[in-house]
Amino acid sequence: MRDVYLDNAATTYPKPESVYAAMDHFSRDIGGNPGRSGHHRSLEAGRVVLRARDALAILLGATNPSRVILTKNATEALNLGIKGILSAGGHAVVSCLEHNSVWRPLEALAPQGVTYTAVPCRGDGYIDPAAVGEAITPATKLLIFMHASNVTGILLPVAEIAALGHERGIPLLVDAAQTAGCYPINVEGMRIDLLAFTGHKELLGPQGTGGLYVAEGLEMPPLLEGGTGSNSRDPHQPDFLPDRFEAGTLNGVGLAGLHAGVEFVMGQGLERVREHTLELTERLTCGLGAMPHVTLYGTADAAGRVGIASFNVEGLESSEAASLLDERYGICVRSGLHCAPLAHRALGTLERGTVRASISYLSTPDDVDYLLECVAALKNI
């Protein structure tokens, strides 16, 4: 049986060889704690972190790398931004497609007086910036929008939303979990104030890595206090970045791998990555869209998407279809709600969920064709 992995929106697999090699090298040959001691292993570990941060800053278009805060995933980065800006209460405007890593922190802040408005999407899954403008009130303190939906793959107009926020002096937090590494991002050019990303998806790094870009001039409290290796006599968390937001030992081995992933993506070039993603997405959405027994969610226009397609097969629960694809054909896809019940409510799939197939830069046309062939075969089950 073949072994085809198309669950890259959950986490990419496989990683480039250079990622495995960098993690092995860190674990075997470096081994020190980054930023803690003065010996050569600690200094070398510190340089690994520095290089990862510098590469991420270049990839994201941030002039000052110390404004790229390293976290363990996008969820931690989103919590840092959301709880940082809304710690004293206030209103947020979000999309109706947001992940639980936005929805749950907002709900958890309700006792502090935090409220939010979820902007609905159109039938094709697109969010209209004009609707965002209408949802903003005098109490709005933060706009939170994903860059691409992890359910439909549809891109949101975050640059236009950032412009709306700037007209009113309201910062924008972008959840780039599904775009960093496969879609061009320039935080300064797009005037994004906060951008949360994860290392283990399209940046092709390992799990346990991610980060938050924080624009110059934006003040917020840290989520955690603790050791940084800097100002150790001071009982208070340092007030300079990145130490202010990076308490505790960083994931040195993970960051070695993430650096290799980012270097790989930059070496290929984001244009080439995007071109490859577009080609495979088109193949995937056109193929699924043409099957009468399949319902594809969101627009079939690949240009407005990242490499994600959500669908259902007539007569099968999403979990049944995904299990059949795995057990009969060796294809890994995800089923259910994809941690985004708000998006399923908007799409009308809250009860059934969807089957989600998602590609990475390392996916091939053959992987997509095999999936299409197997989904076609599900018609007769």
State the nearest-atom distance from the C-beta of 331 to ligand PLP, in Å. 19
Residue whose CB is less far from ligand PLP, 73 or 237: 73
Residue whose CB is less far from ligand PLP, 140 or 178: 178
State the nearest-atom distance from the C-beta of 261 to ligand PLP, in Å. 14
How far from 92 is each of 107, 112, 213, 354, CA to CA, in Å? Answer: 11, 13, 19, 28
Distance CA 283, CA 287 (A): 6
CA proximity to 78, closest of 245, 242, 199, 212: 212
Residue whose CB is less far from ligand PLP, 207 or 323: 207
Residues making contact with ligand PLP (CB under 6 A): 73-75, 99, 101, 146, 150, 175, 177-178, 198, 210, 339
CA proximity to 201, closest of 311, 276, 308: 308
Is 373 buried (19+), middle (13-18) or exposed (0-12) by CB count in 10 A?
exposed
What are 52's strand-pairing partners? none
Distance CA 358, CA 9 (A): 6
State the nearest-atom distance from the C-beta of 204 to ligand PLP, in Å. 13
Give the contacts of 186 (CB within 8 A, at least 6 positions apart).
60, 61
Q: Is 337 helix (H, G, I), strand (E, B) or coil?
A: coil
Element at 70 (helix H, strand E): strand 68-71
Residue whose CB is less far from ligand PLP, 150 or 237: 150
State the nearest-atom distance from the C-beta of 296 to ligand PLP, in Å. 19
Distance CA 47, CA 53 (A): 10
The strand order across the sheet containing 140-146 reads 68-71, 210-214, 194-198, 172-175, 140-146, 90-95, 114-119
Residue whose CB is less far from ligand PLP, 244 or 356: 356
State the nearest-atom distance from the C-beta of 343 to ligand PLP, in Å. 9
User: DSSP of 141-182, one letter per residue?
Assistant: EEEEEESB-TTT-BBP-HHHHHHHHHHHT--EEEE-TTTTTT
Residue pair 49/70 in contact (Cβ under 8 Å)? The answer is yes
Residue whose CB is less far from ligand PLP, 171 or 205: 205
State the nearest-atom distance from the C-beta of 355 to ligand PLP, in Å. 16
Residue whose CB is less far from ligand PLP, 153 or 238: 153
State the nearest-atom distance from the C-beta of 191 to ligand PLP, in Å. 21
Residue whose CB is less far from ligand PLP, 12 or 299: 12
Element at 369 (helix H, strand E): helix 365-377
β-strands 68-71, 354-358 pairing: unpaired
State the nearest-atom distance from the C-beta of 338 to ligand PLP, in Å. 7
Residue whose CB is less far from ligand PLP, 83 or 287: 83
State the nearest-atom distance from the C-beta of 297 to ligand PLP, in Å. 15
